[in-house]
Amino acid sequence: MASHSLSFFRVLLLLFLTTLSERIKGQGVGINYGQIANNLPSPARVAVLLRSLNITRVKLYDADPNVLFSFSNSQVDFMIGLGNEYLQNMSTDPTKAQAWLQQRLEPHISKTRITSIVVGNEIFKTNDHVLIGNLLPAMKSVYAALTNLGLEKQVAVTSAHSLDILQTSYPPSSGSFKEEFIQYLEPLLDFHSQIKSPFLINAYPFFAYKDSPKEVPLEYVLFEPNPGMVDPNTNLHYDNMLFAQVDALYSAIKTLGHTDVEVRISETGWPSKGDENEIGHVSGSGVEGGEVNLAKEGQLTITEKGGDLDVAGL
């Protein structure tokens, strides 16, 4: 997701998802903490802000020691990121993973609640089959290193994926993966099943609306009242696209033989400002003040304006 399209904080719903077509079963709301921008507040100031908003989950795109130190002795759970640039070395040399953990994880884990390591981000979207092939070996190296440190039950190993991995998403019950990725996804899902870690997805209904604004009702992607759609195979009714997208992913996972891998949303959101071709940003819709109603069941309203995250009505 382009950093200029969404503001400094992007909404992260870390939801324990069973079947989203029936009901959200959430374990909390958090944010993606990105740092590619100008005039950012210091990590210490961010820590104070998030505490005031009762945000209890944060996903970093790296393992910034300044951020992790600033959240020492807090009640915030962290997912830290291991960038794509590390995958090749770690896939072939497990000692690289051990060294990374000793440098980035060990100095902080006694005081900062680090619950997951996200190995790579949207690897399949690169279409680089060498890099894609490095993902699972790198994840295994990180897991082995955690095991050596006695942390494998405390810190989960996972990766975040784009919905571009799906070949079919409609209807949700017919969800399937792109054929060229199945050779990589089958053993990846086997590994998730083995270590009981979640499969992360970056789900942006905005992109579907942006690509087909005449076919996709704005209300359907903004959790506003709308007729929704009924899956003809299951008769399940969907009143928003996000739930349908996640159920499509569950269906795709099931086609590869797994009903034991949990899906969690690692990124979602809606821009309050965007590029010229990004119609449908919130200030141009009927939602006043850039507010995005992301989880109506929980009465959660997120407002993103110029780097601020306002949470109301939790």
Question: Residue 210 is encoded by which pair of tokens?
Answer: 């942006």
HSE value, Cβ hemisphere, 13 Å, CA-based, for 188: 25
Q: Which of 123, 246, 281 is nearest to 188 (CA)?
A: 123
Q: Which of 269, 267, 249, 246 is nearest to 202 (CA)?
A: 267
Catalytic residue set: 122, 267
**Between vectors from CA 185 to CA 182 and to CA 190, what angle results, nearest 5°?**
130
Are 204 and 125 contacting, i.e. CB atoms less than 8 angstroms apart? no
DSSP secondary structure of 122-146: SGGGG--HHHHHHHHHHHHHHHHHH
Q: How far apart are CA 168 and CA 162, in angstroms?
A: 14
Q: Reduce the DSSP state of residue 228 to 3 states and report it.
A: coil
Question: Residue 200 is encoded by which pair of tokens?
Answer: 């992360």
At 206, which amino acid appears?
Answer: F
Are 77 and 57 contacting, i.e. CB atoms less than 8 angstroms apart? yes
Question: Residue 146 is encoded by which pair of tokens?
Answer: 């955690």
Q: Which of 195, 177, 186 is nearest to 250 (CA)?
A: 177
Question: Residue 309 is encoded by which pair of tokens?
Answer: 């995250």
End-to-end CA distance of the chain: 26
Q: How far apart are CA 235 and CA 172, in angstroms?
A: 11
Q: What is the DSSP letter of 69?
A: H
Q: Which of 190, 169, 181 is nearest to 125 (CA)?
A: 181
